[in-house]
Amino acid sequence: MPRSVLFPLAAALFLACGTISAAPVSVIVAREPGRFCGWPSIAQAPNGDLLVVYSGDRSGHLSNDGKVRMVRSADGGKTWEPPVTVFDTPIDDRDSGILRTKTGAMVVSWFTGPYGGEWQGHWVIRSEDSGRTWNAPVRTAVTTPHGPVQLDDGRLLYLGQRPHCSHGEPKDWNGPPAESPYAVALQESKDDGRTWADLAVFPVPADAQMLSYDEPHLADTGDGRLVALFRDCNGEHFLRQSESADGGRTWGAPHATPVCGLPPHVLRLRGGALLLSYAKRWGEMGVYACLSRDGGRTWDAAQETRLSTAPDGDMGYPASVELDDGSVWTVYYQSEKAGEPPCIQGTHWRPVAEAAPQP
């Protein structure tokens, strides 16, 4: 059994009173009646607001009408404002990521497709007023569900798929041509997400199955290393992992982890532990999380925390953010009840290793 189980929603009263329990408390973050919502990410703006972006106002999981949507909470997640549209191209907008940079800018990423036209590709936009207004979109050459991350050295690093023949692919790309629709590469930004440059091609093994290195996410471990994790769409769905000791330019041989789930989101907590969140679309379906206390060298998969239960398998893609008090918000998509379109849900919790001392 997982170490933590869900409390009833009534336990949210503890949060309202300022006491954080180690047990998860789950709420609806965004719901659009009769419409499909999916693939969220979360960050905290400089003004303290929690911002969750996702693909919303959709007619289904696969449709040509998705928009980059956002909801905001000004009270630590107790209440959420109605969704607003951040960006809407004429084609499908999917898999939104969000990042707060060290300068206080908010960077949102997403990809479009696969319907063609001038908007086909991958995009980022920036906000310098806590997500109230947004600058013009900038094209990137890679994409992944939760977008880029910021390293300790200040660079933004974007590890993701580089789909073959994407519209408008930069002509100065320094890696070899993509031999499959899911080649993996890295771009970096040294100007806070305004422009992006090619850094490296990730060494996917030549004998790898298609989608065994899918939808990656990475974290700076704080000890001079980067850890990248990948969704493996084949076999038993154990997450794959690789490490870099030179800022993402070269990577070690990928290996399987003991963590079974998909896809990954990894976050370095203030105490130094790495928090890994993921979903299971089989068995006891739901969103899960586990910790590494040694910079990703090992994962405590045997002590994973279950953050949600789900009525069907169209769900997941969790992402987490740590608040100033050490508690964590993890957001994901799933149906509240069987037969309903998915909505965006969130769990406010405290990782056991980071739990506050008991009185």
Q: So what's the pLDDT on residue 114?
A: 85
Q: So what's the pLDDT on residue 218?
A: 98
The residues, any chain, with a CB within 8 Å of residue 10's CB and separated by 6 or more, are none
Q: So what's the pLDDT on residue 179?
A: 47
The residues, any chain, with a CB within 8 Å of residue 247's CB and separated by 6 or more, are 151, 153, 155, 226
CB-hemisphere CA count at 13 Å for 307? 33
Q: So what's the pLDDT on residue 11?
A: 35
Q: Which residues on neighbouring strands pair with residue 111, listed in sequence order?
A: 94, 122
Spatial contact of 292 and 285, defined as CB atoms under 8 Å apart: no
Q: So what's the pLDDT on residue 159?
A: 98
Q: So what's the pLDDT on residue 358?
A: 39
Give residue limits of the domains in the chain: 9-353
Q: What's CA 126's distance to the chain center, in Å?
A: 17
Q: So what's the pLDDT on residue 167?
A: 38
The residues, any chain, with a CB within 8 Å of residue 208's CB and separated by 6 or more, are none
Q: Taking the model in full, what pTM does it have?
A: 0.90
The CATH number of 9-353 is which of 1.20.272.10, 2.60.40.1120, 2.120.10.10, 3.30.70.580?
2.120.10.10
Across the chain, which has 359 residues, the per-10-residue mean pLDDT values are: 35 33 81 98 98 98 97 97 98 97 98 90 97 98 97 98 55 44 88 97 91 96 98 95 98 97 97 97 97 97 95 97 96 96 97 53
Q: So what's the pLDDT on residue 113?
A: 85
Number of Cβ within 10 Å of residue 264's Cβ equals 29
Q: So what's the pLDDT on residue 182?
A: 65
As a whole number of angstroms, the distance between CA 149 and CA 218 comes to 7
What are the angstrom distances between the C-alpha of 34 and each of 70, 93, 262, 297, 314?
18, 18, 26, 44, 16
